[in-house]
Structure 1
Amino acid sequence: MKKLDFDFIPLGISIILILVSLVVIATSNYALSLKHYIGIGCVVLSIYFYIKNRMTYYVLYGLTLLIGIFGLLDFYYSTFKVGFGSFGINPILAGLLILHIALVYQIVDKLDR
């Protein structure tokens, strides 16, 4: 029996956040900006690479989250920032990045053995 890899958890959470955003947009008067569309596109591209080439997925999704931490892209309809003045980080994407790095580290550690 094949062991399950849990590296899809951050991507699954991102997909859930995108679906919640789309439902909120459809049922209210919120509007998505260009950074939201770019973020959704990057997540869709990450889904494609998760299926086709796992190593490319690790890099692309990690870069997407890293760029999103600083507010250059987003895929959740509401943008949260924690910080001082104009500098801030997105705690949702920071948590997803930490989870992604932890899971990728475990998988890479298994490959070395």
Structure 2
Amino acid sequence: MKKLDFDFIPLGISIILILVSLVMISTSNYALSLKHYIGIGCVIISTYFYFKNRMTYYVVYGITLLVGIFGLLDFYYSTFKVGLGSFGINPISAGLLILHIALVFQIVDKLDSNK
């Protein structure tokens, strides 16, 4: 029996958010901007690397979320920012990055204990 990897959870949440965004723009008058398309592309690239090279996935998806925190890319149709003045962070990307880092550290600890 194959063990389940829980490192797919942040990527799965991102894919669900993308699907919700696609449904919302197709059923209403929302329009996606360039940063949304770039974010969707980065998540698709991360999904490719998840199945081809897991270590590259950790880096690419982590960088995607890190850039998403500062609002340079997004994959959800509605953009949220929390902060003061023009500086703000995206709480969706921040939460996914924290979850991603926690799961990566858990996997690294598991690999270190096997040595």
Supply the AA of the counterpart residue of 1:40: I
1:1-113 aligned at under 5 Å gives the runs 1-113=1-113
Supply the AA of the counterpart residue of 2:12: G
SS in structure 2 of the partner of residue 3 of structure 1: coil
SS in structure 2 of the partner of residue 88 of structure 1: strand
Supply the AA of the counterpart residue of 1:38: I
> Which 4+ stretches in 1 moved above 3 angstroms?
none
TM-score by length of 1: 0.99
Q: Which runs of 5+ in 1 are unaligned?
A: none
In the alignment, the residues of structure 2 paired with residue 25 and residue 51 of structure 1 have an alpha-carbon distance, to the nearest angstrom, of: 29
Q: How far does residue 36 in structure 1 lie from its aligned partner after superposition? A: 0.3
* CA offset digits 1:19-40 (Å, max 9, x no partner): 0000000011111000000000
- Of all paired residues, the percent bearing the same amino acid is 88
In the alignment, the residues of structure 2 paired with residue 105 and residue 90 of structure 1 have an alpha-carbon distance, to the nearest angstrom, of: 23
Q: Which runs of 5+ in 2 are unaligned?
A: none
In the alignment, the residues of structure 1 paired with residue 47 and residue 82 of structure 2 have an alpha-carbon distance, to the nearest angstrom, of: 28
Please give the root-mean-square deviation of Cα atoms over the aligned residues, in Å. 0.5
